[in-house]
Structure 1
């Protein structure tokens, strides 16, 4: 088997667990073998649009705020992205570009105050700038429920990953109504089209930064994981990447009718119609605020919007038949992107983060659990299936399990099942390590994998989960996960056996990592007959 990590030819007994084989994480990559940029030199690279000057940080050349598309304002508001114009001279690439307009969740709207409108920019970390290095490239797509997000968050700094011998790219894309609002006269899924434009920029320019355009891996988490899944299903993305990593795939995709109804409700808050002609001159902050207003009163839409209203997720990719012809699960089951190796997984306690934020930890009532089972379970028989499959579970466990399964865990596992059933290669993981923050209250929660993969354990939101002083245990787990991700990007093999629908071998990441068989069997059986279709508009 090709790869930096050896795997025994005979798979383990599915009934047993084992430690992953192969060399220690430190032996999988050799960043010290790379020729680091000259100390003290300000690295310069020439792109197709013009030259950029970056900075040197801990032996890695960093370029921030490079435009990959023209600012989507004025006549380009709500349009498909257009290539950025060129420039003369050398453009400083020292600061992140401004975040795209977005809602007020977690205070993200404050980052947009006073920002300029050139939102579509990207950032590059490379250990070996200049053509000829041919390094693997890892392109990150951040999450944020398709509503918030910016590549400037400190947890997305690509320096540690780049020092393992890869080129790392992060970028902004339009979110919320700017990126996904279903407006008459505008192409659907503009946020996904922005992602494709960033990948096209990578194809055309990454060689100058030391990367190989034919060795590109896309990786993303939550809405970013859902975006990776969507890109696998999009004909326009074909040929732009050769490997994919989907972390905690957000399972919400909308029908055109539902997306149009959401857009109508948001435009009505402004006294307007959901058309480009009506909305083009509305300030982005006002449009985002209208989306927030609708999001704060979703109870009145619950009968029509279903899951999209129950969890405040009314903005998501639209399966409208053109930019996105089918859901990722349908597309992969039909053989789409079969030649692209896939790494997919989730955390054990996805919902726990939101339970803590909502102040419900240990406080879920039987009535709240029953409502969650009804609203988020797999069909009318869902509550019975959960109670039969988890007979000893109390309200808290049932509440968390059904939310975790519907929104992230089962969308991720079904993606793996669809890929394996169609004959494609897929590796599956589950993060089971308990975050130490708040005395372990977060468990293995949603988003915990992000700082572990990037290696940024002590900055931004991860500090809340992991603590101001990361433990040696956390550092070792992070090193192991970084090694697996970079090995997959380099060789297509993260270091454990591929998943199939017979053995269902899954890598568990914990203090003592192990490969085990079918660790989420209970939930898998509950959801095995469910189809993740676009969320439909109810009469």
Structure 2
């Protein structure tokens, strides 16, 4: 902002910083919460920030972690550097005592993402009386690749380090460390679900919001095999962290991109993973992430953390529209997709009988929406309730007008709505030219629900129960009703969410048993 002026310095645990006064808010950008994970710390767990003398300016976003394949939709040029592990704070009142705190974890298929985009601007949410925090964490091979001698799930460990920073420092920004709500979308929602299951994150949040939880979690065997293939291409055939880390982060990123472009060649060993956009997901390694979130929550691991969890109606539509494939799926392609991602033998016949009016494109989108986002999100609500926790369910059904009306209630539409960032290039992807009045009203409703929940007042509808399955349906107008996707729910009845593994018959490092 052109009229921004520096704030007075405030003290954090590692040194004094000053941000910018922007309108009624105080904004601090690029605050380090861990040391740069380069050099001796490359592929290591995050290490605490070293203290500094004097006053550090927190005026600009920190650089993003190395990004795999997916470039910015906005064409903006991100900041450069290796101080990837930073966070940003928007405060409506630095002198306040005990404001609710919202901490956002971005999505991006675990291969891309950073906080410097305008669609993650925390101003609108902070203006509702919340302290808002957004954080960078490692993605791709840097954050989720498994290499011998390196801790698994480094991206999740980064998030835990950021939450510890919040607990230690947020009072200086007017926030209450005992009223922290962590929210995230897509890979960010998968991260939030993981945090609920991680012993190292226990006590660092009071509430959580998981928007479109992906069901892709990996076994350690699968993740090791993927890491071995990356190491081979990097020229580090041993696959050890020291060998891999000896290469520059940019080289690791480029080699990872090559593997992503060539995923189909690994279908006989990685199965469904080879037909997704990324070879990375949280890894059930038995230590950092002892078990899947669904199993952990059902056992009561996070029963004291209230949860909002939901999904969008037409999740997979985003990917077919962006790929230019919407409406172009053949019957043969739909059959392959239904067999690959459906809930078991006979999935094709079951889906065709359940959705008799659906054409091949819709059938393909439905089964991929169900497998990847809708059923995992529903199962998380069921698991949390079974474990003694309180869960609130929602579905976003409003049909966005972008791409000539093709977008529908697609994946990621909820991001600009929740953040109130409707006048951004990212929002225009969904909304087209102009901002519809319905989008403004829906953004107001969702923003109010999220912030009321973070404040401890509840989101405005009844909790989810297995019997009634009460769900808030965000639409124009919105309503509260039983879970709307009953047809898909019944198709997946009795099917849980389990980690993706090497294909049957593959042994250590993906070799055929006996070969």
TM over 0.5: yes
Count of paired positions:
501
- Match in the other structure for 1:506: 471
Give the counterpart of 1:213 among 161, 174, 177. Answer: 177
> Does 1:86 find its partner at 2:51?
yes
> Does 1:135 find its partner at 2:99?
yes
CA distance in 2 between partners of 1:185 and 1:475 (Å): 49
47 and 396 in structure 1: CA distance in 2 versus 1, 3 angstrom threshold:
same
1:493-516 CA deviation, whole Å, 9 max, x = no partner?
Answer: 100011100011110111100001
Superposition pairs for residues 438-477 of structure 1, below 5 Å? 438-477=403-442
1:460-482 CA deviation, whole Å, 9 max, x = no partner?
Answer: 31122113421222111100100
Are the equivalent residues in 2 in contact too, given 1:137–1:166 (CA < 8 A)?
A: yes
- Match in the other structure for 2:242: 277
CA distance in 1 between partners of 2:151 and 2:6 (Å): 44
| SS of aligned partner of 2:67 | coil
Are the equivalent residues in 2 in contact too, given 1:45–1:129 (CA < 8 A)?
A: no
CA distance in 2 between partners of 1:266 and 1:208 (Å): 43
111 and 477 in structure 1: CA distance in 2 versus 1, 3 angstrom threshold:
closer
CA distance in 1 between partners of 2:81 and 2:263 (Å): 31
Shift of 1:530: 1.1
Query: Please, what is the CA RMSD of the aligned residues?
Result: 1.7
Are the equivalent residues in 2 in contact too, given 1:43–1:56 (CA < 8 A)?
A: no
CA distance in 2 between partners of 1:510 and 1:374 (Å): 32
Shift of 1:110: 8.8
> Does 1:318 find its partner at 2:318?
no
1:259-278 CA deviation, whole Å, 9 max, x = no partner?
Answer: 01111111111221321121
Are the equivalent residues in 2 in contact too, given 1:173–1:195 (CA < 8 A)?
A: yes
Give the counterpart of 2:148 among 168, 184, 188. Answer: 184
CA distance in 1 between partners of 2:224 and 2:175 (Å): 40
CA distance in 2 between partners of 1:450 and 1:83 (Å): 30
Shift of 1:113: 8.1
TM norm structure 2? 0.95
CA distance in 1 between partners of 2:8 and 2:326 (Å): 49
| SS of aligned partner of 1:433 | coil
> Does 1:238 find its partner at 2:207?
no
Are the equivalent residues in 1 in contact too, given 2:330–2:360 (CA < 8 A)?
A: yes
70 and 41 in structure 1: CA distance in 2 versus 1, 3 angstrom threshold:
closer
Are the equivalent residues in 2 in contact too, given 1:108–1:148 (CA < 8 A)?
A: no
Give the counterpart of 1:262 among 210, 213, 226. Answer: 226
Are the equivalent residues in 1 in contact too, given 2:4–2:20 (CA < 8 A)?
A: no
Shift of 1:51: 0.9
1:1-49 CA deviation, whole Å, 9 max, x = no partner?
Answer: xxxxxxxxxxxxxxxxxxxxxxxxxxxxxxxxxxxxx995624321111
CA distance in 2 between partners of 1:409 and 1:352 (Å): 13
- Match in the other structure for 1:381: 346
| SS of aligned partner of 1:64 | strand
CA distance in 2 between partners of 1:39 and 1:261 (Å): 50
| SS of aligned partner of 1:178 | helix
- Match in the other structure for 2:25: 60
Are the equivalent residues in 2 in contact too, given 1:99–1:111 (CA < 8 A)?
A: no
CA distance in 2 between partners of 1:398 and 1:358 (Å): 17
1:159-192 CA deviation, whole Å, 9 max, x = no partner?
Answer: 0000000000001000000011100010010000
Higher deviation after alignment, 102-111 or 346-355: 102-111
Shift of 1:112: 8.3
- Match in the other structure for 2:128: 164
393 and 172 in structure 1: CA distance in 2 versus 1, 3 angstrom threshold:
same
275 and 433 in structure 1: CA distance in 2 versus 1, 3 angstrom threshold:
same
Q: What are structure 2's unaligned runs of at least 5 residues? A: 507-515
CA distance in 2 between partners of 1:109 and 1:436 (Å): 19
Shift of 1:389: 1.9
| SS of aligned partner of 1:269 | helix
Are the equivalent residues in 2 in contact too, given 1:222–1:249 (CA < 8 A)?
A: yes
492 and 175 in structure 1: CA distance in 2 versus 1, 3 angstrom threshold:
farther
> Does 1:343 find its partner at 2:290?
no
CA distance in 2 between partners of 1:451 and 1:108 (Å): 14
- Match in the other structure for 2:367: 402
| SS of aligned partner of 2:329 | coil
CA distance in 1 between partners of 2:419 and 2:170 (Å): 20
CA distance in 2 between partners of 1:394 and 1:466 (Å): 25
| SS of aligned partner of 1:219 | strand
405 and 500 in structure 1: CA distance in 2 versus 1, 3 angstrom threshold:
same
Q: Which has the higher contact order (CA 8 A, sep 6+)?
A: 1
- Match in the other structure for 1:481: 446
Shift of 1:105: 1.3
Are the equivalent residues in 2 in contact too, given 1:347–1:445 (CA < 8 A)?
A: yes
Give the counterpart of 1:371 among 314, 336, 341. Answer: 336
> Does 1:227 find its partner at 2:191?
yes
CA distance in 2 between partners of 1:74 and 1:39 (Å): 36
43 and 471 in structure 1: CA distance in 2 versus 1, 3 angstrom threshold:
farther
CA distance in 2 between partners of 1:246 and 1:468 (Å): 29
Superposition pairs for residues 243-254 of structure 1, below 5 Å? 243-254=207-218
CA distance in 2 between partners of 1:422 and 1:120 (Å): 33
| SS of aligned partner of 1:461 | helix
